[in-house]
């Protein structure tokens, strides 16, 4: 196995895709849909929000290991956040996927960095960003 | 007899990518040197617009274009080259038939019958037409092995059916449908037929007179020709009665400000400057195919398919989707744990090109409970080493996902 592959399919991603966090069909909250018509990856995100606070999130659906792991990390890291911090977290995850951003001195959570390898697999960037972009849109559109 | 190794040498791409196991020919085929040269030759030495040019160059171009049409007619054994309409591809041809042939005839309550294994190209145009007319799109179901059950088919051929359109070789399951028998059954009841031969024409002899289909479509790029060119065969009797699909230059007899009379077939269906280089390239591709001993090439391809099937079946946790008795060199599969896109990414690192996803047959795969498959598709330039490389790549998939 080559190094590029090892970096992409490192432990964080494989673990999250095998045992996704809060992977459940019967969740409460607002349902938002993350769908990539090009590849067919499709997740439902359930956001349990009270006013300014994201109490907890769940998700369900199907897709590749990268999109599933990225959704799992999203659901885990949004839990308990206020909206402003949630937006910050989304921005830092998106920075990890952006090849133009130097990550070295940025305060980025360890788990997010696992997805940096997707930068060298341009065909797979969309997998990593799918749920996060959906979340970003949701947060933007809140009153 | 030309061996597969010799054939491989005819395709310059493999000189540039000697390590590539190209297993995506169902998406598009590679191009033989002859085709690339024919296109270059046209642009470099013979380029001019066709029809109505009085000067030599234009007459040469017209001749080359019409020779390509004859070449297509010969290849599929059409009795008359006027039955060959150049299109952009299979999709374009199906849209043409839906709009120019069926739309004027279809009434509320009528039925268009297709199979459940159609490519979106042979589904969406009929579906949209049915929706617009209050007609019904009915489906011939597909069994678990990926086949049409004969009785399921026959019982759907009611009086209400105004069109039967189906795929010869399924692009996602590899199933070879009994085209001849199905068409005969429809014809007996006076139902017009369209055969989608996009996946079959490159490998299986197609004789439109023997098939007796009303329409048949295929794409140039899947049969070793260029992209952007395709063929609609329509029996003259049907084409003659059809109104144009698009209108403009090239398809007219006489134009006045308030009315137009249209050109005879096939020009009536070729509005605008056609893809002249594409038609010439397609002609070259078909000539190339004719120069091969096609039966023995097919035999070798079948052997390779059997080898690939055996190799894939030997991998634990891998399941081949589409187990029809009559099957082409298209092998769709899924693996426990690993999603098709992960499989394709890992195979890409092993220089194996496969396609992953729903292969434009989304309702079929969803019906089978699958988000998609990985698909290895074979062609005349593939050899055992490609399959061995695939096998090795799949070992890495197992290593990562267990």
Confidence check: pLDDT of B3 > 80: no
The per-residue pLDDT for B2 is 55
The per-residue pLDDT for A10 is 86
* Binary contact (B345, A123; C-beta < 8 A): yes
Alpha-carbon distance of B37 to B367, in angstroms, equals 44
Closest by Cβ to B339, choosing from A42, A65, A123:
A65
Is the CB of residue A5 less than 8 Å away from at least one CB of chain B? yes
Query: Per-residue confidence at B5, pLDDT binned at 50, 70, 90?
Result: low
Report the chain A residue with the minimal C-alpha distance to residue B357.
A39
ipTM of the complex: 0.89
Closest by Cβ to B372, choosing from A40, A65, A121:
A40
- To the query of whether residue B130 is one of the catalytic residues in this protein, the response is no
B104 SS3 class:
coil
pTM for the structure as a whole? 0.94
The per-residue pLDDT for A38 is 81
Please state the rounded mean pLDDT for residues A108-132.
93
Closest by Cβ to B371, choosing from A9, A62, A124:
A62
The per-residue pLDDT for B1 is 47
| Beta-carbon pairs below 8 A across chains A and B | 52
B71, B130, B235, B360: the catalytic one is: B360
Tokens of A141: 């559109």
Of the listed ranges A98-102, A128-132, B277-281, the least confidently predicted one is A98-102
DSSP secondary structure, B193-258, as one string = EEEE-TTTTTTS---HHHHT-SEEEEEGGGGTS-TT-EEEEE-HHHHHHPPPSS-STTSEEEE-SS
Residues of B whose CB is below 8 A from A61 = none
The contacts of residue A104 (CB under 8 Å, 6+ apart) are none
In tens, the pLDDT along A37-66 reads 888 889 999 999 999 999 999 999 999 999
In tens, the pLDDT along B184-230 reads 999 999 999 999 999 999 999 999 999 999 999 999 999 999 999 99
A65-78 and A83-97 are packed helices; what angle lies between their axes, rounded to 10 degrees? 150
Interface test with B, best of A7, A40, A115, A119 (most B CBs within 10 A): A40
Alpha-carbon distance of B396 to B347, in angstroms, equals 8
Q: How far is CA B391 from CA B309, B350, B376, B380, B395, in A?
A: 11, 10, 11, 19, 6
Query: Per-residue confidence at B99, pLDDT binned at 50, 70, 90?
Result: very high
In tens, the pLDDT along B277-328 reads 999 999 999 999 999 999 999 999 999 999 999 999 999 999 999 999 999 9
Confidence check: pLDDT of A26 > 90: no
* Binary contact (B401, A65; C-beta < 8 A): yes
The per-residue pLDDT for B123 is 98
Q: Which residues of B make CB contacts under 8 Å with A?
A: 337-342, 345-346, 349, 356-358, 362, 371-372, 396, 399-401
Looking at CA atoms only, how far is residue A1 from chain B in angstroms?
6
| Selection from B198, B212, B210, B211 nearest residue B170 by Cα | B198
The per-residue pLDDT for B105 is 97
In tens, the pLDDT along B124-157 reads 999 999 999 999 999 999 999 999 999 999 999 9
Please state the rounded mean pLDDT for residues A15-41.
91
Alpha-carbon distance of A74 to A93, in angstroms, equals 9
Is the CB of residue A66 less than 8 Å away from at least one CB of chain B? yes
């Amino acid at each position: 196995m080559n190094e590029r592959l090892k970096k992409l399919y490192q432990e964080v991603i494989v673990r999250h895709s095998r045992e996704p966090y809060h992977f459940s069909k019967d969740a409460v909250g607002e349902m938002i849909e993350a769908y990539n018509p090009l590849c067919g990856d499709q997740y439902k995100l359930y956001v349990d929000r009270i006013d300014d606070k994201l109490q907890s999130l769940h998700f369900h659906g199907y897709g590749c290991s990268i999109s599933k792991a990225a959704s799992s990390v999203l659901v885990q890291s949004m839990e308990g956040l206020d909206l402003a911090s949630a937006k910050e977290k989304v921005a830092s995850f998106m920075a990890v996927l952006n090849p133009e951003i130097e990550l070295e001195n940025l305060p980025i959570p360890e788990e997010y960095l696992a997805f940096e390898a997707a930068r060298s697999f341009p065909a797979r960037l969309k997998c990593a960003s799918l749920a996060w972009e959906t979340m970003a849109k949701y947060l933007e559109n809140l009153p | 007899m030309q061996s597969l190794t010799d054939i491989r040498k005819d395709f310059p791409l493999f000189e540039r990518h000697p390590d590539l196991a190209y297993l995506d020919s169902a998406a598009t085929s590679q191009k033989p040197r002859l085709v690339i040269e024919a296109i270059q030759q046209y642009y470099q030495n013979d380029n001019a617009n066709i029809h109505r040019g009085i000067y030599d160059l234009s007459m040469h171009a017209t001749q080359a274009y019409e020779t390509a049409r004859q070449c297509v007619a010969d290849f599929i054994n059409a009795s008359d080259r006027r039955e060959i309409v150049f299109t952009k591809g299979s999709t374009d041809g199906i849209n043409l038939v839906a709009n120019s042939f069926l739309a004027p005839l279809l009434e509320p309550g009528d039925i268009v019958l297709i199979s459940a294994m159609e490519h979106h190209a042979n589904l969406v145009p009929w579906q949209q037409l049915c929706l617009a007319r209050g007609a019904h799109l009915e489906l011939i179901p597909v069994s678990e092995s990926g086949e049409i059950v004969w009785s399921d088919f026959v019982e759907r051929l009611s009086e209400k059916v105004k069109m039967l359109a189906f795929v010869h070789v399924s692009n996602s399951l590899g199933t070879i449908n009994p085209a001849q028998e199905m068409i005969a059954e429809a014809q007996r009841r006076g139902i017009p037929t369209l055969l989608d031969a996009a996946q079959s024409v490159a490998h299986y002899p197609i004789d439109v007179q023997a098939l007796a289909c009303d329409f048949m479509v295929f794409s140039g790029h899947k049969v070793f020709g260029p992209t952007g060119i395709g063929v609609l065969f329509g029996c003259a009797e049907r084409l003659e009665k059809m109104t144009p699909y698009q209108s403009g230059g090239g398809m007219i007899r006489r134009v006045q400000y308030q009315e137009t009379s249209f050109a005879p077939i096939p020009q009536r269906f070729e509005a605008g400057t056609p893809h002249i280089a594409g038609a010439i390239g397609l002609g070259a591709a078909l000539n190339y195919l004719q120069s091969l001993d096609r039966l023995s090439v097919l035999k070798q391809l079948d052997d390779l398919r059997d080898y690939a099937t055996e190799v894939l079946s030997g991998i634990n946790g891998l399941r081949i989707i589409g187990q029809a008795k009559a099957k082409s060199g298209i092998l769709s599969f899924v693996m426990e744990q690993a999603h098709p896109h992960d499989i394709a990414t890992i195979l890409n690192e092993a220089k194996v090109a496969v396609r992953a996803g729903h292969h434009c047959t989304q309702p079929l795969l969803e019906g089978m409970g699958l988000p998609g498959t990985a698909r290895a598709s074979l062609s005349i330039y593939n050899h055992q080493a490609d399959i061995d490389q695939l096998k090795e790549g799949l070992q890495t998939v197992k290593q990562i996902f267990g």
